[in-house]
Chain A
Amino acid sequence: MDILEIQHLSKRFGSTQAIDDLSFSVPEGSIFGFIGQNGAGKTTTMKLVLGLLKADQGSVLIDGEKVSFGETKTNRKIGYLPDVPEFYNYLRAREYLDLCGKITGLSNELIKSRSDELLSLVGLSKVTKKIGAYSRGMKQRLGIAQALLNEPRLLICDEPTSALDPLGRKEILDILSQVKGKTTVLFSTHILSDVERICDHVAVISHGKLMMADSLANIKANHASESISLEFKTPQDKEAFMDHNEIKNHFILKTEGQTGLLLQTKELLKTEALVLKILVDHNWLPIKFEVNEPSIESLFLEALQ
């Protein structure tokens, strides 16, 4: 079951085509990374999903229900954390959650119990100062708390970690991981290591167009080749290995320095066995043998090509 379906969505601002025939869907229960450079159309897509902008073409379905511009019905199922969340500086965290809860129509008791629970989840339960005196990381954490207040089916976070220091980023990612299972998380980012840490599905967009969308496992399996790094004792060993019939005709080889070699393959296990067998048979025992997992950077760059 898909909680969010985007079908042939297009949006133009003046002469700029911000979103161009974008289609993808977010499976329920996933942590979905929405990747793209700055200006790729991530925030625009999210605002279209929230009905804050009017789509030129295409449609957005939340849990099977169509989103229409200005209409707030589908938003009851969504929690939203804007890229730079702005709250009323003169309110306190609890007062802000109270306001949000009442707007959503929660009962007073529920607002109180959810506020307690969420403020301790995001580590703000002992903070009594006004929001105006918060650091960026604290605002971001309050942002997550307010987004989760109505127990949304889908949590949308717009670049939740981009403006934060490493510690702040870690805190946000930890909170998002904890939320997994309770709600689906869609978050946009251009920080690939964040995606690698917590996402199980990703979509990559560039200039408003979808470059790829799949589960991270599938993408890793299908898109980028894995590689083996070898470091030989002598350059002679390396050249002899590279000259071996079964090696030179079947793999892409990249020399790294005098004795280093990078071997790319689509079938890692078979290749590993073959390479090890050849090395042992000819007594070209390497000083290093390392399997490189495909990095998300290489996947990303591949998708953009």
Chain B
Amino acid sequence: MKAYLAFTKKEFIEYLRTYKLLIMGLVFLLFGMMNPVLAKFTPEIIKAAGIEIQLPDPTALDSWAQFFKNVGQMGMVVMVVIFSGIMANEFSKGTLINILTKGLKRSTVILSKFTVASIIWTLSYLFCFGVTYIYTLVFWEMTGLHQVFWTFFSPWLYGEFLISLLILGGVLFKSGIGSLLLVGGLTIVMTILSIFPQFHDTNPMTLSSDNMSLLAGLKDLNTFVPALWICLLLTVLVMISSVVLFDHKQV
């Protein structure tokens, strides 16, 4: 436990002193402020551009639609890039050898790294949510929202899944490129699956791509339950595989 806390603290210091925490914070702050503003002024921008389209007046839902578009796409990309070296940096620099010879359990390394990445992801997500929430309140009444908890929980869980994949990729390939390729490859597979409606309910990607229909009340929560379970199960499985594979890895 003491070793876990010490290594976790070291991970935090790393993100703090290498400015990765700052970058995450700034990017998600920017998204948080952009979402409501973009939703509010999109019709006027279009009008100013001289395009004649009749758009309904924007509502709080449009602001949240922007939120999920930004966080679910660009935000996740930034998160994945920032955490891509989560295992690889330790391998390529050889910093882990020394720590492991001190008797740190390999599973502790994995667990610590997952903990810190999760906390940073959670805080960034909540931060972005908070900023969007406040600005949205400035412009609109917060009405017409359904299944608020599950709508916001789903992309977060999907983010956790991506973090676990980054760790597995790092353990497998000992490189940041390996982590990125694993996440990128699986994202492509899930994107292709999402074309087929029959996979909608079981594809983890649904959690981040289709949750607006949950918030708008267009879809029932039941249609999301399988994807939620599968995503959770996959995250746990990927983490266990990472620990087992790492235990048998020669460093």
Contact = CB atoms under 8 A, between A and B. Distances in A.
Nearest to A156: B101
Given A54-B250, A95-B13, A70 B102 contact: no
Contact of A99 (B7, B106, B247): B7
A130 B18 CA distance: 12
Contact size range, A: 20 to 34
B2 A80 contact: no
A9 to B, nearest CB: 15
A102 to B, nearest CB: 4
B101 A70 contact: no
A103 interface: yes
Contacts of B144: none
A100 interface: yes
A72 B101 contact: yes
Contact of B101 (A52, A95, A99): A52
A53 B100 CA distance: 12
Interface stretch (A81-89, A162-170, A172-180, A242-250): A81-89
Contacts, number: 75
Nearest to A90: B17
Interface residues of B, number: 28
Interface string B89-108: 00001110111111111100
B89 to A, nearest CB: 10
Given A82-B97, A102-B2, A90 B13 contact: yes
25 contacts: A52-B250, A70-B248, A72-B100, A72-B105, A73-B103, A75-B101, A82-B97, A85-B98, A86-B98, A87-B95, A88-B10, A90-B17, A90-B18, A91-B13, A98-B6, A99-B9, A99-B10, A100-B99, A102-B3, A102-B5, A103-B3, A103-B103, A104-B103, A130-B17, A150-B102
Q: Which 10 A-B pairs have the closest CB atoms?
A: A102-B6, A90-B17, A72-B103, A86-B94, A103-B102, A80-B101, A103-B3, A103-B104, A86-B95, A86-B93
Given A73-B103, A99-B6, 13 more contacts: A52-B97, A52-B101, A54-B250, A70-B106, A86-B94, A95-B13, A99-B9, A100-B98, A103-B6, A103-B103, A103-B104, A130-B17, A146-B98
Interface of B: 2-3, 5-7, 9-10, 13-14, 17-18, 93-95, 97-106, 247-248, 250-251
